[in-house]
Amino acid sequence: MAVTGDKQEKNSKILIVEDSPSQAIQLKYLLEESGYKVSVQTNGADALSHLVEHTPDLVISDILMPVMDGYELCRKIKGDGDLRGIPVLLLTQLTEPEDIIKGLDSGADNFVTKPYDPELLFSQIEYILINRTMRTTLHTEMGLEVFFAGKKHFVNSDRIQILDLLFSTYQNSLQQKHELERTNKELKEALDTINILHGILPICANCKKIRDDKGSWNQIEAYITEHSQAEFSHGICPECATKLYPQFFKD
């Protein structure tokens, strides 16, 4: 999958921090296919060591990792004078509103929920990289004290970061809404399929009645109506019309 954007953005260096080998390989492949230069570390501590000698244009980090999780990694990057300008995108399940507070508190620039939609992920990456230079020239830091879920939090994040997190929250919620609609559609189609008759039906060779599971014989119309959503309208086929009303079909 390729993404739009300037060559500068496409040639950007991205550090993936992910403890799952399969997910790291998948994400690395997607990014490299789009022209990004990618390196991988398996936890926050190794990522910090890597950052001492290498400066990527973006860090994409999972949250749940051994040794050092994504929140702590992000917090240390933003607390380091030499590293704080590196944007951090967190990959998260984001099942609770508190996760947004944690993301703000750690200094994260953006997040994408897992399992992520590749198009949404690339959209967030491109947005971050395009705005990186502009953001480094702005100074909008302003702490904010909030009372949430019975606890008091002090969010030491600038206003632009807060807006970015809120916009990404909206985008992820929209993605989840579309996925829910798709799931509901699939469930409805599955229910419709369940209402279709399947299997072998015992049918009388003479009168064409169908035997049900209880051993009773039913008119075919009654049986199908009861076991499906089909409805009947009646007519006469040409062959039966000739037999029943021969007077109308004389040569």
At 113, is the pLDDT very low, low, confident or very high (cuts 50, 70, 90)? confident
Distance CA 37, CA 28 (A): 9
| Tokens matching residue 10 | 């496409």
What would you report as the CA-atom Rg of the chain, rounded to the nearest whole angstrom? 31
pLDDT band at 115 (very low <50, low <70, confident <90, very high): confident
Entry pTM: 0.57
The average pLDDT across 158-181 equals 64
Q: Does 72 score more than 70 pLDDT?
A: yes
CATH code for the part of the protein at 7-188 = 3.40.50.2300
Q: Which pLDDT score is estimated for 135?
A: 53
Contact status, residue 27 vs residue 59, Cβ threshold 8 Å: no
Position 107 pLDDT exceeds 60: yes
pLDDT at 203 over 60: yes
**Residue corresponding to tokens 């279709």:** 196
**Which tokens in the block code for residue 49?**
């060591």
Question: How long is the chain?
Answer: 251
Q: What is the pLDDT of residues 130-168, one digit of tens each?
A: 777 655 554 445 555 544 445 555 555 555 566 666 666
If you average pLDDT over each of 56-60, 189-193, 208-212, which comes out highest? 56-60
Query: Domain extents for the chain?
Result: 7-188, 210-248
